[in-house]
Structures are given as C-alpha cells and as structure tokens.
Amino acid sequence: MLNSLRSRDMAYHFHSQTNPRRQEADGPLMISRGEGCYVLDELGNRYLEGMGGLWCASLGFENDRLAELAAAQMKKLATYHTFNHRSNDPCADVVEQIAELSPIPGSRVFLVNSGSEANDTMVKLAWYYNIARGKPSKRKIISRKGAFHGSTVMGAALGGLPHMHESFNLPSLNVVYAGKPHFYKNALPDETEEAYCNRLIDDLETLIASEGADTIAAMIAEPIMGAGGVVSPPADYFPRVREVLTRNDILLLSDEVVCGFGRSGNWFGCETFGFVPDMMSIAKGLSSGYMPIAAAVIGDHVYQAIADEADRIGVFGHGFTYSGHPVTAAVAAEVLRIYREMDIPARARELGGHLFGKLEATIADHPMVGEIRGAGFLAGIELVADRSTRTPFDPALKVGALVERRCRAHSVMIRNMGDVISVCPPFVMTKSQVGELVDGIAAALDDASAELGK
C-alpha cells in the first residue's frame, strides 16, 4: 500500500512538461504551503519563489482577503454558466474592470479558463471575423520562431518551440513563422539594433508577400517572449509590425498571458512597446494564479463584425462550461482591485529597477553570464560558455537545468528554459528579498561553474 502522498503522485500523476520516466524514478518536489513570497516543501524546506510559481503569483502564495472572498462566493453561488444569455454578478464585475484597463478601444471580454484557451479563442475569432467580412481565404496565422502560446492543439501549433511539436503529429493549421526578435543571439556581426530591426521587418514583409496577404488572418506575438527566453524586441519593432499588418489587412493579436497586469512596467506589454493590438489574451496575473481564469479581449471593430455574423446565423457557437465561473470571476475582480490599490505598474517599475541594478552589480561580470535582459519586474539571464564570442554551452550539458537545481540548493526557485534563467517574482516581494533572490542565483552560478570546471 502506498503510504505517502508523494508515492501516490509518483504512481498516478502524469505531470505537465516533464520527463515521465525521470518522474517515475525521482518523483516530484511536493510543495505543501505558501507564506508570502516563500513556498515550503513537505519536509519543511523554505524557498524564495522567484518565478511567481509559473509567471503568475503576483500577490504571493497566500492572501487572506482573497481566501475569505472566495469562501463567501462559494456560499452565495458556487457555480453557474454564461451560455444562453446567463451571467452573474462577479462575471459582470470582472469584465467591466478588464475593459476599463484595456488599451484596446471599445473592448469586449470573452472569458475562458487558461491562456491556451484564450489564444485558441483569438484565432477562432480572427477566422470568424474574416468570414463575416466575406474574406474566407484569410486563414493563415503568423507566429514566430521560439514562441510559446499554449499547449492545446492550436496553442502548440502556434508555438515555435520544437519540443511542443515533436512526436505529437500536429496538423499544420496554416501557421507560418516569422523570425524571433532576439538581437543578442541573432544579429549579424557588427549589425546595429536598428539595422537588425530593419531586417526583421523586411523579412516579415517578404513572408507576407510570399504567402499572400489575402491568405493571412492574423499575427500573434508576446510583447516579451516568456517561455521563449524572456526576449525583448528591438526598439520600434512592434510599431513597425503594427504598420505592416494594418497595411496588409492582418490582425495583430497580443499574447499578454505573461506580460499583462503590470509585469513589464505598464498594465499591458503592448503599452510598454508602443502598439495597440486588435485583440489580446490575458491569464496568469488576472487572478494572481489563485483561480483558473483567462480572457480574450476584443476590439470593437472585430466584435461588431462577429456580432453581425452570429446574429445572421442565430448564435455564436463558441464557449466553455466554466467561462465566467462566479468564484473564479469574484477572485479575479478582487485581484484587480488590489492591483489598483497597489498601483501595480509603478510597483513593477520600482522593484524592477532594484532587481536589474542588483543583477548588474552581482552577476553581470560572471563568466557564465552573456546577457541580462527584460523589462519591468521580469528578467532573463542568458548563460554562455564564452562571453566574448557569445558561444552557447553544448545543449547536452544541460547547464540551465544544473543552475536551476543549484538555485534550489540555495533555497531559491527560478526557472530555466534551456540555458536561459528566468525571474518573474511576486509584486509583494521586498527589496531585501530581491537581494536574497539575486544572491541565491549568484551562488548557484558559482556552484555550476565549479562543477563544470571539474
């Protein structure tokens, strides 16, 4: 008989984004509870969580105000749906707040349960929009190499990460890929950032001309690529992308799942990088990860065409059982009130300035660190074998995974995407805790450097 929850997890749980055979052999790290910015495992070991769990725990890992509100809503109306002209008070509350914060004119909010569902929904709406306009040939979606947009069939197809495609036998789903805007890794020798941006835009124009603008419905992009390596675009990249797409009658979909709700130093990443999308997906920070809720935020021009087409048919045939769930909506609405009370964009800029200052002072000259990048309270650290030539480590060495393990040994949680270390802390972190986080990363880099030297 299995006598521990960890053993039961090893026996029955098929984990996300893991190696199943390694999971069977080694088992999981069982996280038992949260205390502010810290999480504790089943043995009582305490870790400073520098990734907000999975880019989402903006308010840390326990909050009495939200717990009490969720319990009260459970007692009042524990569940209901939003099909067939139904709604509920928390649902109306949260969509109003989202629309008030949205930079998209005349926003309408379609509630879903995850970032993957939100991105799927945006793609379906882009197709529907073009059917409504009598342009059914506009079906292709432009994504970017190295992108991550979710794990559903459409989300994975949009993604430009090889492991999200390999062995799944995904259909093509009419997705084509533009270049990854990563100046540090992809610029030519002696190429300026301005020249690199010009090349990216020229390549996008060439891609659109090659595929045919009359066959392309939309382009999807994260303002800062999260799981793609915390990659910030060159200056003026997104305004120029916006111009190209508008000229070619192609919608721009902003994936704000990671960047939304203050993370980049503004309410949304599109504001940080100077563009207005036609639609945007939001999730993670929407509820601080406390409840599964997400949304597609839709511009008025898109909504009006879709509403007319749905009226012609008689119904809009898309939705999910838990869209607008009263408990998740109530928690998200209260989270947004807390963010406003905190002035979360200003908080991100303040803490982010401290984070980047501490990273520069502590690890910028480390022999394993090639680049420190990001915006707001979101950072990526590129690990390299040779700083002067920007030579990466042999992937077989799994250096990023080594650094992640050593961080845990120093009671710090981060995430590695290959040989990029990502940092996405809760906004309730103190400056002292930011220092504790960076010191843990520095110690882990020293450990890893010593181990590789052997």
The token duo for 99 is 């629309």
Residue partners of 25: CB distance under 8 A and separation at least 6: none
Rounded Cα–Cα distance for residues 260 and 282 (Å): 6
Nearest to 259 by CA among 274, 270, 269, 272: 269
C-alpha to C-alpha distance for 154 and 161, rounded to whole angstroms = 13
pLDDT at 172: 79
Domain 5-62+343-453 falls under CATH 1.25.60.10: no
Sign of the alpha-carbon dihedral angle for 452, 392, 158, 118: positive
Burial 226-263 (b: 16+ CB within 10 A, else e): bbbbbbbbbeebbebbbebbeebebbbbbbbbbbbbbb
Residue 1 has what pLDDT? 47
Could you tell me which of 268, 286, 266 has the C-alpha nearest to residue 277?
268
- Asked if 146 and 180 touch (Cβ cutoff 8 Å), the reply is yes
What whole-number distance in Å separates Cα of residue 13 and Cα of residue 30? Answer: 12
Neighbours of 364 (CB within 10 A): 12
Q: What is the DSSP track for 353-368?
A: HHHHHHHHHHHTT-TT
CA atoms within 13 A on the CB side of 442: 15
- Looking at domain 77-342, does it have CATH number 3.30.465.10? no
Residues 45, 31: Cα–Cα separation, whole Å:
9
Report the alpha-carbon angle 367-437-268, nearest 5: 100
Contacts of 52 (CB under 8 A, 6+ apart): 58, 289, 424, 425, 426
Measured between alpha carbons, how far is 59 from 69 in angstroms, rounded to an integer?
15
Chain centre distance of CA 247: 28
User: What is the rounded CA–CA span in Å between residue 363 and residue 380?
Assistant: 12
Runs of H (alpha helix) within 220-343: 237-247, 269-272, 300-313, 326-342
| C-alpha dihedral (147, 149, 151, 152), degrees to nearest 10 | -130
The answer to whether residues 411 and 403 touch, using CB atoms and an 8 Å cutoff, is no
Q: Please tell me the distance from the alpha carbon of residue 279 to that of residue 254, in angstroms, as a whole number.
A: 6
- Residue (of 355, 361, 366) closest to 447 by Cα position: 366
Assess contact for 181 and 233: CB atoms under 8 A. yes
- CA 205 from chain centre, in angstroms, equals 26
**How many other CB atoms are there within 10 angstroms of residue 43's CB atom?**
8
Phi-psi region of 83 (alpha: psi -120 to 50; beta: other; left: phi over 0): beta
pLDDT at 160: 83
User: Can you give the pLDDT of all 454 residues of the chain as single tens digits?
Assistant: 466 999 999 999 999 989 999 999 999 999 999 999 999 999 999 999 999 999 999 999 999 999 999 999 999 999 999 999 999 999 999 999 999 999 999 999 999 999 999 999 999 999 999 999 999 999 999 999 999 999 999 999 999 888 888 888 888 789 999 999 999 999 999 999 999 999 999 999 999 999 999 999 999 999 999 999 999 999 999 999 999 999 999 999 999 999 999 999 999 999 999 999 999 999 999 999 999 999 999 999 999 999 999 999 999 999 999 999 999 999 999 999 999 999 999 999 999 999 999 999 999 999 999 999 999 999 999 999 999 999 999 999 999 999 999 999 999 999 999 999 999 999 999 999 999 999 999 999 999 999 998 7
Q: Which of 44, 23, 47, 24 is nearest to 32 (CA)?
A: 44
Going 324 to 119 to 220 to 131, the CA torsion angle's sign is: negative
pLDDT of res. 164: 87
> Distances in Å between the alpha carbon of 50 and those of 97, 290, 355?
28, 17, 11
Give, for 198, the enclosing helix (H) or strand (E): helix 193-211
Give CA 418 to chain center in angstroms: 17
Domain residue spans of the chain: 5-62+343-453, 77-342
